[in-house]
A and B are shown apart, each in its own frame.
Chain A
Amino acid sequence: MAFGRDVRSALFRRVQSFAQTELNVFGAASVITRNTNDVQQVQMVLVMMLNVMIMAPITMIGGIIMAIRQDVALSSMIAVIIPLMAVIIGLMLKAALPLFQSMQAKIDRVNQVMREKLSGVRVIRAFVRTDFEERRFDEANRDLTDTQLKINRMFALMLPLLMAIFNFSSVAIIWFGAGRVDSGAMPIGNLTAFLAYIMQILMSVMMAVVMFVMVPRAAASATRIKEVLDTLSSVNDPEEPTAESGLSGQIEFRDVEFRYPGAEEPVLCGVSFTAYPGETTAIVGSTGSGKSTLINLIPRLYDVTGGSILVDGVDVRQMSLSRLWGRIGFIQQRAFLFSGTVASNLSYGKEDASEKDLWHALSVAQAREFVAEMPEGLEATISQGGASVSGGQRQRLAIARALIKRPEVYVFDDSFSALDFKTDSKLRAALKHETAEATVIIVAQRVSTIMDADRIIVMDGGRVVGLGRHSELMDECETYREIVFSQLSAEEVA
């Protein structure tokens, strides 16, 4: 039990320390399973193992000693029976292991087909492909059934076989014992006692051995846990953090390069620019151009692989993480809310925020109206992940959450995408006022969102291909023009 607690705790802490890179390697869902289900698996087998493993050898050794005391010659039978059982079980496990693995894969397949069917139900019905889907599921179902049948049929043999060995042993004991009793080498009472001891020994061997059936799965779980524990975070606190001199929130990228571990091509290459306080710096570019990666580097969700990022002149890697994070308000594309209430989510960045602060942030984020419309207002419950509010509402709440923190740097990662044009523009107007002195960095797809930024950075293929104001870029930057024309008609651009 303590084992489970400690492993869970170690896992949780380790994952908390992970940078995004490490989390991506495993995937959030997998890390969750590893922290919960896998630990449970291992712990359970461990408990049972300890129970059986401590009891079984004691019973066995006690039994053997007593058996030998009864009759040495007959005891030699033990040397035959136990290895025989071990061999049979070993052979079975060897045959079963690959089957178990393939069964797991087939369960995954059934899950996958089902998940696809559930998520794609509209498409399936629109294209009238229900029959096809039924065949697809049936195939996976049949496949799984066949494998399970194979495994179960194999294990159907195991118990009767072991029992047979067990029972034949007792027959053999009486047979050989009869000779010894007849020749007077052994009193009859000892034969009965001997039989009881042998049964006890075999029973404990069998218990122990049956345990091994459980080991493969637990071992798989243990490997999965170990993988996480063996992974070190790539982003760590510096040993001696440097303090910045002035605190304005100026962010400078100096020839930044970033490549994902193992990737041949860097995602970002030679990126240099400065975002000044009191100004809005926008980043546009096609997907895969490295926009999101670029801003993830600022709070060190990843670390640069070349060049450096400076906040007020200090390399982010030289700052303590808590200090760095304290200065940045980060709003993700996929807004994530925690279960709790609207208020508990908003005050996530600043626990002592007053109700007035909360409402103010909500009005700036254009969320006041819908929160006020909720019967419980600020105390309205938010379900995990924020599923109880719509996508646009979620984004606005996430923006309000960052506003309450009052950071010096705001980073918006395409955080306006779920908003309609009208709300989008209202929100930006209000934000401008609110974040007047802060450094604002916005990543966006919509040109209308970033047209009036002080500085627009155009990314393509991981490089900066344009930098300037809208009007300048329209003249100079071909990529920018392409982006703009794909979204607006000529007269709107002008």
Chain B
Amino acid sequence: MSETTKEAPSRGRAGPGGGGFGPGRHLGVGMPAPKSKDFRGSFKRLAGYLRPQMALIIIVLALAAASVAFSVVGPKLLGNATNLVFEGALGAQLGQSLPPGTTKDQAVAGLRAAGKTDLADLLASMDVTPGQGVEFDAVRQLLMLVALVYALSALLGWMQQYLMAGVAQRAVYQLRRQADEKLARLPLRYYDSQPRGDVLSRVTNDIDNIAQTLQQSLTQIITAVLTIIGVLAMMFWISPLLALVSLLTLPLSIGSAILIAKRSQKQFAAQWKHTGTLNGHIEEMFSGHAIVKVFGRQEEAIEVFDRENELLYEASFKAQFISGIIMPSMNFINNLNYVAIAVIGGLRVAQGQMSLGDVQAFIQYSRQFTQPITQTASIMNVMQSTVASAERVFELLDEAEEIPESQTPVTMPRVEGHIEMSDVSFRYEPDTPLIEDLSLDARPGSTVAIVGPTGAGKTTLVNLLMRFYEIDEGTISIDGVDIREMSRNDLRRTFGMVLQDAWLFKGTIRDNIAYGREDASDEALDEAARAAHVDHFVRTLPDGYDTVLDDEASNISAGERQLLTIARAFLADPEILILDEATSSVDTRTEVLIQQAMSRLMKGRTSFVIAHRLSTIRNADTIIVMDHGRIIEQGNHEALMAAEGFYCDLYNSQFVDAYDEAS
């Protein structure tokens, strides 16, 4: 009896566990689980996460076994109690119809003489004393035992699940942590090539999915399997004949379930497909809301939506309908089984070959029997989806990491900021050269402006300098030391970076500025804030430096965000700077502030500027002109203008009426 009701929560999987209540979790019979590539291998690897807790798992298994054993013994003992009551009742009846003092043997003989052989056999097999009613002491003792057994079963079951919660959550915690640590070791190439949403989904949704399964399905499958074994054993022990009868109906129910599931599978697949298309359409129409409206395309949007929605409805209806047949048909077969057991059992009781209590126990067992089997089947389905998730996480964990650090890194006590690039070549894709034989000499304190049209690959240079990407040929050195001889962290510490996309995290303004240097004193922080013109506007905020920047930092303007990142760079006090001047979303007054702060920041530092301001460009010591991902010109303003090349063109284009060129 104890396992039957677990079916309900398992189907919905709405119980406790991770947060993933999404549709993917509800893998009832016949829902297609995303297929894994190497089920065995990935399953083993996932199981590996449980290995450190092997001792606990063994305890959990032992507890589960004991809990199941107790709950399986229960009905048999309860059957014995019924026997006692039955015998007592029969005794009392006999006592009324027979003269007092008649023994059981005499009663049996009397019955045989009267030709009632069946009744005689029944009586003979029982422990009845005519005239003696129900022995309440014995019944009480037995029932106390049953209650104890059930109580123990519940207690052990609780302990098992309690411990398992710890095992599962620890394993998942570990997995999440590993994924996070792995991300820190991955090269930028991975970040740039992988859609952010996908990586995020691996670390969150997929791991949640695994958490749910470890928490729920694992304990369920353990108890389900143990219950099947236990119940089967009890059934054969009580009556091999009835056990065989029950087993006979088993293939019937499994077969019909499979038959129906196969049909519904197709419909479920269709359902998920249509769900996907519909979601895609909704997402697109809502993201482009204004465009849809202004172009007057709402009618079409709704039309497409209705079509997809209707398809989804039809598919889900069919899927539900077909899979809805499973339960009733299983029930029908179960009831057939029930009737068979009741009839055969009844005959055998009448013949005295079986006790009433045993039949009662047997019926309970046979009811308990089919449930764990269907449960196991649906968990198998869940497993498929879990292993598929695990594979996605493992894929992340198996990504190639950054090339190892130099074994004997050079540490430089003082960095002047003299950067030399000689014959540097680099390509993202092996067959499309990006930077070829680039040489550049940036003296300490000088400014290098990088200019070029959008998408010209200006950030590539930054990537190489910071060793976000490794160069293919040539060398980059700082004060004569090859950057590959330095540890990445030391190298990056010499750089300060202010990017166009002002990245701030959710935290106070103070924490965000202090991001530049963890051990910074309050005075240093104040100084940096003032230098970056942050101080004034921060003080106008209600919580000042303790203002928490919200999700997208929308409580301060884009320009103010930029100023904060400048303050962060000030505090870090690097020898070399990388700046991105793009200011398309910044208002002009803040722009002036940013410009001032940036020039102040650049003072005395070697600076690489992705330049948009002509004044910066013209005052730069070296201008690097990039187009189509390649450096096409290099020199100072005067030299480049004199060359009358691309730069000259670019520079002039801002003020000439370019109509003739355009048409």
Contacts and interface: CB of A to CB of B under 8 A. Distances in A.
A171 interface: yes
Contacts of A474: none
A451 B364 CA distance: 89
Interface string B146-187: 110011011101101110111011101100110011011000
Contact of B492 (A128, A211, A288): A128
A20 B290 CA distance: 7
Contacts, number: 441
Contacts of B139: 174-175, 178
Contacts of A152: 16-17, 161, 165, 168-169, 215
Interface string A1-27: 110110011001101101010010000
Contact of A287 (B140, B492, B515, B557): B557
A98 B295 CA distance: 46
A305 interface: no
Interface stretch (B251-259, B531-539, B587-595, B637-645): B587-595
B284 A339 contact: yes
B346 to A, nearest CB: 10
B8 A174 contact: no
Interface string A444-481: 01101000000000000000000000000000000000
A384 B284 contact: yes
Interface string A162-191: 111011101100110111011010011001
A226 interface: no
Given A141-B173, A156-B162, A423 B360 contact: no
Contact of A301 (B154, B181, B293): B293
A417 B584 contact: yes
A465 to B, nearest CB: 13
B518 interface: yes
Contacts of B292: 16
A445 B583 contact: yes
A184 B92 contact: yes
Nearest to B219: A156
A12 B518 contact: no
A445 B584 CA distance: 6
A325 B296 contact: yes
Contacts of A330: 290-291, 294
B282 A487 contact: no
A3 to B, nearest CB: 10
A429 interface: yes
Interface in A132-149: 132-134, 136-138, 141-142, 145, 148-149
A121 B78 CA distance: 65
A5 B453 CA distance: 48
Given A44-B26, A182-B89, A203-B4, A192 B200 contact: no
A488 B614 contact: yes
A88 interface: no
Interface stretch (A76-84, A108-116, A263-271): A108-116
Contacts of B659: 426, 429-430, 432-433
A491 to B, nearest CB: 10
A108 to B, nearest CB: 9
Contact of B140 (A48, A130, A159, A175): A175
Interface in A90-131: 96, 103-104, 107, 110-112, 114-123, 125-130
B493 A128 contact: yes
A316 B650 CA distance: 42
B287 A217 contact: no
Contact of B85 (A153, A164, A181, A423): A181
A375 B568 CA distance: 45
A20 B215 contact: no
Given A132-B518, A148-B18, A137 B180 contact: yes
A418 B284 contact: no
A326 B15 CA distance: 52
B453 A422 contact: yes
A327 to B, nearest CB: 10
B5 A162 contact: yes
Given A115-B196, A115-B200, A213-B15, A206 B5 contact: yes
B320 interface: yes
Interface stretch (B103-111, B229-237, B311-319, B375-383): B311-319
Given A137-B180, A207-B8, A426-B661, A23 B588 contact: no
Residue of A145, A148, A188, A191 with most chain B CB atoms under a 10 A cut-off: A148
A322 interface: yes
Interface residues of A, number: 156
A336 B85 contact: no
B614 A288 contact: no
A148 B168 CA distance: 10
A171 B78 contact: yes
Interface in B277-328: 278-280, 282-298, 301-302, 305-306, 309-310, 312-313, 316-317, 320, 324
A229 interface: no
B291 A326 contact: no
Interface stretch (A31-39, A67-75, A251-259, A306-314): A31-39
B157 A160 contact: yes
A232 interface: no
Given A127-B572, A175-B143, A287 B586 contact: yes
B88 interface: yes
Given A164-B151, A192-B82, A126 B291 contact: no
Given A44-B23, A145-B172, A332-B291, A163 B662 contact: no
Interface string B189-222: 0010000100110011000100100010000000
Interface residues of B, number: 168
Contacts of B154: 160-161, 163-164, 167
A151 B8 contact: no
B468 interface: yes
A263 to B, nearest CB: 14
A328 interface: yes
A317 interface: no
A47 B14 CA distance: 14
Given A155-B15, A422-B453, A114 B654 contact: no
Interface string B642-663: 0000000110011111111111
A280 interface: no
B509 to A, nearest CB: 16
A116 B241 CA distance: 66
B363 A15 contact: no
Given A35-B282, A126-B492, A192-B356, A422 B288 contact: no
B295 A127 contact: no
Interface in B69-83: 71, 74, 78, 81-82
Contact of B173 (A104, A142, A325, A326): A142
A159 B455 contact: no
A214 interface: yes
B454 A286 contact: no
B298 A167 contact: no
B489 interface: yes
A122 B578 CA distance: 12
Contacts of B200: 111, 114-115, 118
Interface stretch (B123-131, B498-506, B521-529): B498-506
Contact of A182 (B92, B155, B656): B92
B21 interface: yes
**A-B residue pairs, 10 tightest by C-beta:** A286-B587, A429-B659, A156-B161, A214-B14, A152-B165, A164-B154, A287-B587, A420-B453, A155-B16, A120-B503
Given A285-B587, A414-B584, 16 more contacts: A13-B302, A36-B278, A112-B551, A118-B196, A118-B199, A122-B503, A126-B497, A128-B489, A174-B143, A178-B88, A184-B92, A287-B559, A289-B587, A421-B650, A433-B659, A483-B588
23 contacts: A2-B313, A5-B310, A9-B305, A16-B302, A20-B290, A28-B289, A36-B275, A112-B506, A117-B180, A118-B183, A127-B572, A128-B489, A152-B165, A163-B150, A167-B146, A171-B150, A174-B81, A182-B92, A182-B136, A332-B290, A429-B657, A429-B661, A445-B584
